[in-house]
Amino acid sequence: MVKARFVLLVLLLPALLLAGCDVFTASPFPGFTYATDISVNLGSRINSIASGKSPISYDLEVVDVPSALLSVFPTLSPRVLLLVEPPSSDPSLGFDYKGQLIFMDQDLNVLGQAATPTSLDYFSKPYSYAADGNIMAGYIVLNPSGGFSHKNVSLGLEGFSFTVVTPGPTVSTYVFSTPSGQYASFDLDYAIYNNTWGIIDSGHTLAIIPQAARPSSSDPNYPNLGYQLLGVSYDGASGNVTFVFSEPSTANIVVARMPLATATSGSGVILPGATGWPVDPGSWPLSLSQDRPALSADAAGIFMVQRDGWMTRYAWTAPSQTLGWSGGPVQIVGDRSLSRRYAFLIPQTGSQYMYRFDPSSGILTRYKRWW
């Protein structure tokens, strides 16, 4: 029997070697399964939304509540949002948006389900609590249970947003974005809104590097050069905002931090010391060599779901300090599937969680902290 097993292993070994590392990294048991907490099957809801149409695209988002906003709206709590988008092209109607958002609390209890007010509207980033205590989903504003509040067509930026509370209290919502329609850029667009969605500031840009350091716009590859905004994190105590970028042309992740007041002065530059293109990644306060990971940024660092199947947590110094890495990375076997969606809840106080949605099963799972 032992000899037979040995022969079988010898016969299988060449096949395993030819298959490569995918056999091992594509394991259905990634390194965080021990931290499994709770799950919910959303299959029936998804089928109802899709009405038999495919393919379906998904986005998973966690909307946390800034601690300062709780002083104004003490009943707010985090939300987990799953966007379900069936095909939106109809041969007779043209664009016919069917996407819906499933609203859940952090324990995955379903609170509601939101459709757009018309089939010509759509949901998109950014997702966050806003200055009026509602949740923005692109230019559509919803209440915390998914009920429709209103549209704000001036919300044209599909980037990242956060809400700031200053003494008074004055509550404002900030949005930063790569310019609409651009693959990468050397500037960010930004806008600021008050608690009645009036525009405080818009039409201005924040330079990523100085004009003198940029390549010539006549460069035939110019549209592919520059930076993509992957994440933004704001700290109310220090007033600092941290920006995370991808530089697609070099497969690097770069990070910088600056005061929010400087970022929205109309003349701010995120990396003022850059002198020419290409910019050495080492010129940035933080940089990583990584090709297009799925990335989530929070006040304490970043999570990366990497294309090679690994999942990594990098922690950085406190927002009130000079930006630098804090300790070494925490890495586990993650997920090679590009279809599964991940989101993270990292509150300033309380339990921290990871959420994972598997489209093949319709199951959304919460995991306790593994990092």
Supply the DSSP string of 129-168, one letter for each residue.
E-TTSSEEETTEEE-TTS-EEEE-TT----SEEEEEEETT
Which residue type, as a one-letter code, is found at position 38?
Answer: I
Residues 280 and 195 in one domain: yes
Q: What is the pLDDT of residue 202?
A: 85
Which residue type, as a one-letter code, is found at position 197?
Answer: W
Question: 107-158: per-residue pLDDT in tens?
Answer: 999 999 999 999 999 999 999 999 999 999 999 999 999 999 988 867 778 8
Whether residue 22 is contained in a domain is answered as no
- Rounded to whole angstroms, the Cα distance separating 80 from 100 reads 14
Residues 329 and 243 in one domain: yes
Residues 163 and 139 in one domain: no
Task: Look up the domain containing 72 and give its range.
Answer: 40-144
3-state secondary structure of 222: helix
Whether residue 237 is contained in a domain is answered as yes
338 confidence band (pLDDT: 50, 70, 90):
confident
Residues 99 and 172 in one domain: no
- Rounded to whole angstroms, the Cα distance separating 252 from 266 reads 27
Residues 108 and 225 in one domain: no
Whether residue 344 is contained in a domain is answered as no
pLDDT of 360 over the 90 cut: yes
- Rounded to whole angstroms, the Cα distance separating 352 from 300 reads 12
Q: What is the DSSP letter of 215?
A: P
Among candidate residues 144, 164, 182, the one where a domain is terminated:
144
Beta strand pairing status for 294-298 and 286-289?
unpaired
Q: Which residue has the tokens 């949740």?
A: 135
Whether residue 52 is contained in a domain is answered as yes
Residues 79 and 193 in one domain: no
Measured CA distances, 44 to 41, 159, 179, 300, 357 (Å): 8, 31, 37, 36, 15
Whether residue 318 is contained in a domain is answered as yes
Q: What's the longest Cα–Cα distance across the chain? A: 80
Question: 3-24: per-residue pLDDT in tens?
Answer: 444 444 444 444 444 444 444 4
Question: 65-120: per-residue pLDDT in tens?
Answer: 999 999 999 999 999 999 999 998 877 778 999 999 999 999 999 999 999 999 99
What is the distance, to the nearest Å, from the Cα of residue 51 to the centroid of all Cα atoms in its chain? 28
Whether residue 331 is contained in a domain is answered as yes
Helix (H) or strand (E) holding 81: strand 79-85
Domain count, the chain: 2
- Rounded to whole angstroms, the Cα distance separating 96 from 122 reads 9
Peptide bond into 278 cis (omega under 30): yes
Residues 106 and 164 in one domain: no
- Rounded to whole angstroms, the Cα distance separating 307 from 292 reads 7
Residues 244 and 199 in one domain: yes
The answer to whether 180 and 157 have CB atoms below 8 angstroms apart is yes
Residues 101 and 173 in one domain: no
3-state secondary structure of 9: helix
Residues 104 and 129 in one domain: yes
Among candidate residues 117, 144, 171, the one where a domain is terminated:
144
The alpha carbon torsion through 296, 84, 128, 265 (nearest 10 deg) reads 70
Residues 169 and 259 in one domain: yes
- Rounded to whole angstroms, the Cα distance separating 127 from 102 reads 13
Beta strand pairing status for 187-193 and 330-333?
unpaired
Question: 303-332: per-residue pLDDT in tens?
Answer: 999 988 899 999 999 998 999 999 999 999
**8, burial (CB in 10 Å: exposed 0-12, middle 13-18, buried 19+):** exposed
Question: 40-65: per-residue pLDDT in tens?
Answer: 999 999 999 999 999 999 999 999 99
- Rounded to whole angstroms, the Cα distance separating 303 from 297 reads 7
Residues 88 and 188 in one domain: no
